[in-house]
A and B are shown apart, each in its own frame.
Chain A
Amino acid sequence: MANALSIEKLTTIQSLITQHKEMPGALIPLLHAIQDTIGYIPEDSYLPISRALALSVAEVHGVVTFYHHFRTFPIGKHILYVCRAESCQAMGAEKLEAIIKAKLNIDYHQTTSDGAITLEPIYCLGNCACSPAVMMDDEVYGRMDNQKMADLINEARAS
């Protein structure tokens, strides 16, 4: 493994495993807990998870990579999700997407060079009466235009 995990992270992961392992269908709640706590799911966690849940490492890897929400790499300080689904397309999402990529100078699944923002596509935020929509961390923003988008990005960079 290129980046061995710190003892601190391994201890955190181990304690989350202990908290979750008795739940029925524990794997996905456990993966959420790991990602919520340390920001991503390190591949080094597959082995301890697989042992605790009586799974193979391949099964854990399979689940992590099946779901779009899970990631195996650290992200920037903020995560910006841009909705690519039909309702937002009908309101100019593709234009917005191009503007965001140009402004951040990155593509999807990448992080800005200052480490402030990671960009991800998303397929529907359930804010379809206020398209186009984006989500910054846990907050949804609707009726996005160039100005509102620029303000949101600047705000995130400043925080």
Chain B
Amino acid sequence: MTSIAKDLPIKIYVPRDSSALSLGANRTAKAIQQEAHKRGIEIEIIRNGSRGLFWLEPFVEVATANGRVAFAPVQPKDVASLFDASFLNPDSSTAKAHSLNLGLTEELEWLKKQQRLTFARIGITDPVSLDDYLAHDGYKGLANALKLTPAEIVKTVTDSGLRGRGGAAFPTGIKWNTVLGAGEIGVQKYIVCNADEGDSGTYSDRMVMEDDPFVLIEGMTIAGIAVGANQGYIYLRSEYPHALHILNEAIAKAEAAGYLGENICGTNHRFKLEVRRAAGAYVCGEETSLLESLEGKRGLVRFKPPLPAIEGLFGKPTVVNNVISLATIPIILDKGAQFYADYGMGRSRGTLPIQLAGNIKHGGLVELAFGATLRELLYDFGGGSYTGKPIRAVQVGGPLGAFLPESQFDTPLDYEEFSKIWAVLGHGGIVAFDDTVDMAKMARYAFEFCAIESCGKCTPCRIGSSRGVEVIDKIINGTDVEKNTKLVRDLSDTMLNGSLCALGGMTPYPVLSAMNHFAEDFVPNSKPTLKKIIDIVVA
């Protein structure tokens, strides 16, 4: 070992992503540092992003001439045994024999089967190292964009087929084109990044911001140049404190290096970027509510028209795009529209960063071209449920997405295919539930969540959600079940058609899909009530 230590310090990677930290990555990094010091071995610990195999965090890697070798999951108690096995020399027979040795990271099937475009660098680089970013194709997209006219940049984005990854799937290029053509020449315009990722089961925005912040900054800069906006805001949810610090650090570094601010890369372009913290209102993920919030108001949804592209932030033409949409722009500008459009199926072009969540054995980030089936995701990648019981239901697309039964697991991930089965892909979050789930309870929760988060502007959402909770409770308690079931369907119809935005308008998706696909759970007294279960557990 000591002979190795005399050479350059060996590089060890320990992720700093929030999910890795949530499983003890800081303690692991500290234990490795201390153990190396104790043994007089010089090492360099790099705090990279996460590769996204969260069941294996803390995911430690050792750099070798052939690539990085993974040891995972590493808890502080494992560290001494790793040193004893000479893990800093992964080719040694003892290191190879160590139970945590997973071999070369790049050879892991889970990663090899993916098509990582937006997430190309994530888990590989040090998130706040601009040099690392540049060494891994960073700012190549901007370099190309600077050679194009604004209309040519917009056309590239349109031709790539990229659609809004926040959930609405509106073509990004068309939105940009509207902002490009809006207002008088020289009018103030804005780029707003919607980083209010509130959907349960989603964390891809968080990963981009924590694990590769420069790609978002680059994407927003390109957007600014494309539509003629010189100010950008990242509206970041307050639940992501690490992302806030990392983004601010990256923005300062990009500015210092001339990638943000005045005269970007020596040109006449100017683009300023600022992170604004949200304050815990789910509805502010809706773009007009978000704009109200950025203006310092309550997050009340606006009537449309006017579209934000015409009258957005402070009444000016504004691009509002999700983190993933903006973070995908650099690779499109780098490799070209056709390169990106060659992935995917039908009208869903490119890739989708899918997030496996909930009761799943191998939860994590899977970026794939559109077209893979839910079943492949849940079993080939996810490995089935965490508890080992059958997966009974999955909710795709966050709290406003439909619950899908096993019979729909062969649906390909494609915006239109999901529409056909009255479901949504949303932001690509997949939450799995095993067979202990009570779907009547989930339907009730959907209404409850809507009631908690409703902005209150429109009646179907404000009142409908509270009445929905009451009526579901009646069904659960066996009161006039037939009448009340009809009432829930009537109420859902009103919310679907009469709400101002997707919060009220889509709450019926989880409610009705639960009722339609899992009708047996809505038969009263068929099982112990939630209260009974909790009473038993707490006792």
| A interface, CB within 8 angstroms of B | 24-29, 31-32, 53, 59, 62-63, 66-70, 81, 85-91, 94-95, 98-99, 102, 122-131, 133, 135, 138-143
User: Is the Cβ of B203 less than 8 Å from the Cβ of A129?
Assistant: yes
Q: In the complex, which residue of chain B has the Cβ closest to the Cβ of A101?
A: B538
> Within 8 Å CB of B363, what residues of A?
128-130
5 contacts between A and B (CB under 8 A): A66-B281, A66-B299, A86-B200, A87-B200, A98-B538
Seed contacts A90-B357, A98-B537, A122-B239; 6 additional CB < 8 Å A-B pairs: A28-B276, A90-B431, A90-B434, A128-B200, A128-B363, A129-B54
User: Is the Cβ of A89 less than 8 Å from the Cβ of B445?
Assistant: yes
In the assembled complex, the Cα of A89 lies from the Cα of B357 at a distance in Å of 11
Most chain A CB within a 10 A radius of its CB, from B298, B314, B365: B298
Q: Known contacts A90-B437, A94-B530; is A25 also within 8 Å of B22 by CB?
A: no
In the assembled complex, the Cα of A68 lies from the Cα of B281 at a distance in Å of 6
User: Is the Cβ of B277 less than 8 Å from the Cβ of A126?
Assistant: no
Which one, B21, B297, B455, contacts A63 given CB within 8 A?
B297
Which one, B22, B200, B202, B530, contacts A142 given CB within 8 A?
B22
In the assembled complex, the Cα of A129 lies from the Cα of B56 at a distance in Å of 11
Q: In the complex, which residue of chain A has the Cβ closest to the Cβ of B534?
A: A98
User: Is the Cβ of A130 less than 8 Å from the Cβ of B19?
Assistant: yes
> Within 8 Å CB of B279, what residues of A?
28, 31-32, 67-70
> Within 8 Å CB of B452, what residues of A?
123
Minimum C-beta distance from A149 to chain B (A): 13
Q: Top 10 A-B pairs ranked by shortest CB distance? A: A129-B363, A85-B200, A128-B357, A27-B296, A67-B279, A69-B280, A90-B358, A142-B22, A129-B54, A68-B280
Minimum C-beta distance from B351 to chain A (A): 19
In the assembled complex, the Cα of A66 lies from the Cα of B434 at a distance in Å of 35
Interface of A is mostly: mixed
> Within 8 Å CB of A32, what residues of B?
238, 277, 279
Q: Which residues of B in the span 283-306 have a Cβ within 8 Å of any Cβ on A?
A: 293-299
In the assembled complex, the Cα of A127 lies from the Cα of B294 at a distance in Å of 26
User: Is the Cβ of B280 less than 8 Å from the Cβ of A29?
Assistant: no
Interface size on B, residues (CB 8 A): 65
In the assembled complex, the Cα of A88 lies from the Cα of B203 at a distance in Å of 13
Q: Does B240 contact A (CB under 8 A)?
A: yes
Which one, A25, A63, A125, contacts B294 given CB within 8 A?
A25
In the assembled complex, the Cα of A112 lies from the Cα of B215 at a distance in Å of 43
Q: Does B282 contact A (CB under 8 A)?
A: yes
> Within 8 Å CB of B280, what residues of A?
67-70, 122
Q: Known contacts A91-B386, A126-B197; is A140 also within 8 Å of B21 by CB?
A: yes
User: Is the Cβ of B201 less than 8 Å from the Cβ of A86?
Assistant: yes
Q: Does B317 contact A (CB under 8 A)?
A: no
User: Is the Cβ of B19 less than 8 Å from the Cβ of A127?
Assistant: yes
User: Is the Cβ of B276 less than 8 Å from the Cβ of A86?
Assistant: no
Query: Per-position contact with A for B507-539: 1 when CB-CB < 8 Å, else 0?
Result: 000000000000000000000001000100110
> Within 8 Å CB of A102, what residues of B?
538
In the assembled complex, the Cα of A133 lies from the Cα of B57 at a distance in Å of 15
| Cross-chain pair count, CB within 8 angstroms | 165
Q: Known contacts A128-B201, A135-B239; is A87 also within 8 Å of B431 by CB?
A: yes
Q: Does B206 contact A (CB under 8 A)?
A: yes
> Within 8 Å CB of A128, what residues of B?
200-203, 355, 357-358, 363, 429, 431
User: Is the Cβ of A88 less than 8 Å from the Cβ of B200?
Assistant: yes
Minimum C-beta distance from A68 to chain B (A): 4
Q: Does B55 contact A (CB under 8 A)?
A: yes
In the assembled complex, the Cα of A28 lies from the Cα of B196 at a distance in Å of 15
Q: Which residues of B in the span 359-374 have a Cβ within 8 Å of any Cβ on A?
A: 359-360, 363-365
Q: In the complex, which residue of chain B has the Cβ closest to the Cβ of A66?
A: B298
Q: Does B133 contact A (CB under 8 A)?
A: no
In the assembled complex, the Cα of A127 lies from the Cα of B437 at a distance in Å of 20
User: Is the Cβ of B534 less than 8 Å from the Cβ of A94?
Assistant: yes
Q: Does B23 contact A (CB under 8 A)?
A: yes
Q: Does B241 contact A (CB under 8 A)?
A: yes
User: Is the Cβ of A129 less than 8 Å from the Cβ of B198?
Assistant: no
Q: Known contacts A31-B279, A85-B399, A138-B241; is A63 also within 8 Å of B445 by CB?
A: no
User: Is the Cβ of A129 less than 8 Å from the Cβ of B360?
Assistant: yes
Q: Does B110 contact A (CB under 8 A)?
A: no
Q: In the complex, which residue of chain B has the Cβ closest to the Cβ of A65?
A: B298
Q: Known contacts A29-B276, A128-B202; is A91 also within 8 Å of B449 by CB?
A: no
In the assembled complex, the Cα of A62 lies from the Cα of B456 at a distance in Å of 12
Q: Does B433 contact A (CB under 8 A)?
A: yes
Which one, A26, A123, A124, A129, contacts B364 given CB within 8 A?
A129
> Within 8 Å CB of B356, what residues of A?
129
> Within 8 Å CB of B442, what residues of A?
86, 89
User: Is the Cβ of A91 less than 8 Å from the Cβ of B296?
Assistant: no
Most chain B CB within a 10 A radius of its CB, from A27, A53, A131: A131
User: Is the Cβ of B431 less than 8 Å from the Cβ of A25?
Assistant: no
Minimum C-beta distance from B74 to chain A (A): 15
In the assembled complex, the Cα of A91 lies from the Cα of B385 at a distance in Å of 10
Q: Does B395 contact A (CB under 8 A)?
A: yes
In the assembled complex, the Cα of A24 lies from the Cα of B296 at a distance in Å of 8
> Within 8 Å CB of B455, what residues of A?
66
In the assembled complex, the Cα of A59 lies from the Cα of B276 at a distance in Å of 20
User: Is the Cβ of A95 less than 8 Å from the Cβ of B537?
Assistant: yes
Q: Which residues of B in the span 393-437 have a Cβ within 8 Å of any Cβ on A?
A: 395, 399, 429, 431-434, 437
Q: Which residues of B in the span 186-225 have a Cβ within 8 Å of any Cβ on A?
A: 197-203, 205-206
Which one, A91, A94, A122, A130, contacts B54 given CB within 8 A?
A130
Q: Does B156 contact A (CB under 8 A)?
A: no
Which one, A28, A62, A99, contacts B293 given CB within 8 A?
A28
In the assembled complex, the Cα of A63 lies from the Cα of B296 at a distance in Å of 8
> Within 8 Å CB of A139, what residues of B?
21-22
Minimum C-beta distance from B421 to chain A (A): 19
User: Is the Cβ of B23 less than 8 Å from the Cβ of A142?
Assistant: yes
Q: Does B465 contact A (CB under 8 A)?
A: no
Q: Does B328 contact A (CB under 8 A)?
A: no
User: Is the Cβ of A126 less than 8 Å from the Cβ of B203?
Assistant: yes
In the assembled complex, the Cα of A88 lies from the Cα of B18 at a distance in Å of 16
Minimum C-beta distance from B354 to chain A (A): 11
In the assembled complex, the Cα of A129 lies from the Cα of B356 at a distance in Å of 6
Most chain A CB within a 10 A radius of its CB, from B198, B358, B360, B365: B358
